[in-house]
Structure 1
């Protein structure tokens, strides 16, 4: 099973399949119970829903809260580019293009790795999801955890289940994690073509406004990067 570099909060040391754990921030008190650690755990659980044997490199950029600096993300991406990971997962976004981030993403892609990032279904574009070559994923309420959709939209090629294992973490962040699991399984089975050939759904989801699931992705309005987990 491919190794996944999870750029998020730090996973607990005893997490199943954890290969290494590296912090790119100053550790804060009570980190083990922080929103950052909880978010990372939910992303890892969503990934393992479709790739139960997945192994993780936990690259921590969120310390306590779900906010960090662009430089921390770039440092984590640089580490992942040289690591054993085949998939780099980013369930967060920045609301503007920053050259430093773009260069770091380009190094990941040049190394032959896949980079999966969450993309909001509405509103402004998000980076790194908006960079060419990145697998951008948004939430698709049609999908169960074991399904994905081929949306083929300008801002998101794929969609996946927006609901997290805890029932509270919902939106694009969780959808991207589910899709990273699909990707890991496809890589392990040498069946990447099925992701475009055999989706559960094709084309844009059409839902009533009252049925929409809020994106978990919180776009950054400041120099840092943020991720959130709004409830459904």
Structure 2
């Protein structure tokens, strides 16, 4: 079995005791209470979701949220640049900017040009967000049909894939968590069978449809 991949998690400040913690670099100046902030909670939730499917994965934390879940385009671009130059095989972004920009496009392209997978969350409703909307990015939204080890092939305008949007006991949910679950599945596939093989076997295909009987495969 192949060694577990290194994953660059671009998010809030990742604690040293987070699952799979390998190292951390702060792109922006951290708030004095950053360790107790929503940003830290978000980062730890993403790490836990990744590890749910890939317990051996190692995580490089690249902090772009100083405390609140907001940042600058420049910080995102710098984090993507560092991820491109790192040894990470997968780069994970559970956030989105509402507008496309050449700076974001170039930074995302640098990651892809370095031969890495770039995974980003995409909302189920509304306009596209970035980097999920950038060319070549693996875009993921929440799909209530999926459990934590399942994924769906959606091929929607805003998202290629769907994954589980919740984890029991974790307050963060939605597209952010779904993307993290999917990143964990990709990491697991890297270790056994390969990603191309994994992507041949979705648990569901097509848009999630909610009717009187609950979620159904399209």
- Does TM, normalized by the shorter one, top 0.5? yes
In 2, the alpha carbon distance for the partners of 1:16 and 1:94 equals 27
Using the size of structure 1 for normalisation, the TM-score is: 0.87
1:38 match: secondary structure: helix
Shift in CA distance, 165/37, structure 1 to aligned 2, threshold 3 Å: farther
Q: Which residue of 1 aligns with 2:154?
A: 151
**1:6 alignment counterpart:** 9
Moved more, 10-19 or 174-183: 10-19
TM-score (norm: length of structure 2): 0.93
Structure 1: which 5+ runs fail to align? 213-232
What is the deviation of 1:172?
0.5
Which one of the candidate residues 68, 72, 84 is aligned to 2:71?
68
Matched residues in 1 for 2:168 and 2:109: separation?
32
Match of 2:55 among 52, 67, 75: 52
Distance in 2 of aligned mates of 1:199 and 1:3: 24
Partner of residue 204 from structure 1, selected from 204, 207, 212: 207
Partner of residue 191 from structure 2, selected from 185, 188, 191: 188
* Contact in 2 for aligned 1:42/1:165 (Cα 8 Å): no
SS in 1 for 2:9: strand
- State whether residues 20 and 47 of structure 2, in contact with CA within 8 Å, keep that contact through their aligned partners in structure 1: no
Work out which of the residue numbers 96, 118, 121 in structure 2 matches 1:118: 121
Correspondent of 1:25 among 25, 28, 31: 28
Which whole-Å CA distance do the structure 2 matches of 1:208 and 1:171 have between them?
Answer: 20
Unaligned ranges ≥5, structure 2:
none
TM-superposed CA distance for 1:42, in Å, is 0.3
Once the two structures are TM-superposed, the CA of residue 154 in structure 1 deviates from its matched residue by 2.4
**What does the per-residue CA deviation read over 1:92-122, in whole Å, with 9 as the maximum and x for residues that have no partner?**
0011101111100000000000000001111
- CA RMSD, 1 decimal: 1.5
Q: Which is bigger in relative contact order (C-alpha 8 A, separation at least 6)? A: 1
> Corresponding residue for 1:92?
95
Aligned mates of 2:175, 2:19 — CA distance in 1? 24
Deviations 1:21-64 (CA, angstroms, capped at 9, x unpaired): 10011111111110000000000000000001110000000011
2:135 is matched with which residue: 114, 132, 142?
132
CA contact (8 A) 1:48 1:181 kept: yes
Residue-pair matches, total: 211
Whole-angstrom CA distance in 1 between matches of 2:24 and 2:200: 35
